[in-house]
Amino acid sequence: MAVSLMIAARMVLNHRLYYQLLKHDLLISFEPLLPSQDSLFRLLLWCLVNALPHFIMNIWLAHRECFHLVKLGDLASSAEKLMAANVLHDAHQVAVFYFIPAVVFLIFLFSSYDTEATLLPLSKFFEDDFEASRTVLNRVRFMREKHVVDYVQKELSPQATATGDVSIGEIFKHLAEAVATDAPVMRTQQGLRAAYKNGEERSQVTWTMWPARILLDPRLCDKDAIIFRCVWYVFLGVLGLPLLFVLYCLSSQMFKDVLDVWNGQMSDMAGIVIELGHFIISGHLSWMLYRRTISDAS
């Protein structure tokens, strides 16, 4: 759940930043990110694959006597024996209530990685007034995400920011002067190579919520920025409820398994290790989500 919520939050921030930049005559090109390149998606896929043998083992242990009878009997009566022992019913429950929803969810999550595919196409921009839209596009300045990330990490860091209220337009103006493709520093071959190298290094950290440094900057005094900041904090508060519930369930199960091991049931040791790993990963990702969107923006 922590992985899913983190990816959803990143998508919301990317969409918000894109349209805010477009309102200020700036266009950003997001770097293509394949799900196979994202550690978060790989972790989610591993959890799904790892759950399959556990479900098979649970069904086998619950009905092992039935499976033993099936091995001894003939094929004609095997289906009847399995049905009588509710083996097929349990397998159907696992498929319907876990694997099918999980696979459908992964398919939708896979499609959400292409940020630009879910944005409003420029053809819609020309529908109302073609000439006015063309005039606006003539003023648009182009930026690449890898260059923007490097600027945001350095120039908008807590040590580099100045005190006092600013508008988001001022931040975007400085951003365009620094990393737009037609900016003087970007026109030189040396400056372009340096920006590309730094930006490439930054963009590899796929879970960094870098748009939060701009959109959630507490110095922003624009009405829209203040409203978005308040809505975002409410959004994080709502997300915190299911995250806390997941951590509570994992900790409760770990406590029960520890008591079982204490009483001599050593087979629960493997379960404790798995539950502890999931607890640490979920807690770390939850901390990263709140730290990247609150602490870094402060």
State how far the Cα of 110 lies from the Cα of 117, in Å rounded to an integer.
12
CA 82 to chain centre: 41
CA 18 to chain centre: 17
pLDDT, one tens digit per residue, over 175-213 is: 888 888 776 655 544 454 454 454 444 334 344 678 888
Residue 220 φ/ψ, nearest 5 degrees: -65, 125
Whole-model pTM over 0.85: no
Assess contact for 288 and 9: CB atoms under 8 A.
no
The predicted pLDDT at position 81 comes to 53
Residue 26 φ/ψ, nearest 5 degrees: -130, 140
The predicted pLDDT at position 75 comes to 45
State how far the Cα of 202 lies from the Cα of 209, in Å rounded to an integer.
11
- Location of structure tokens 């009566």: 77
The predicted pLDDT at position 102 comes to 82
Low-confidence ranges of the chain (pLDDT < 70): 1, 61-88, 156-164, 183-208, 292, 294-298
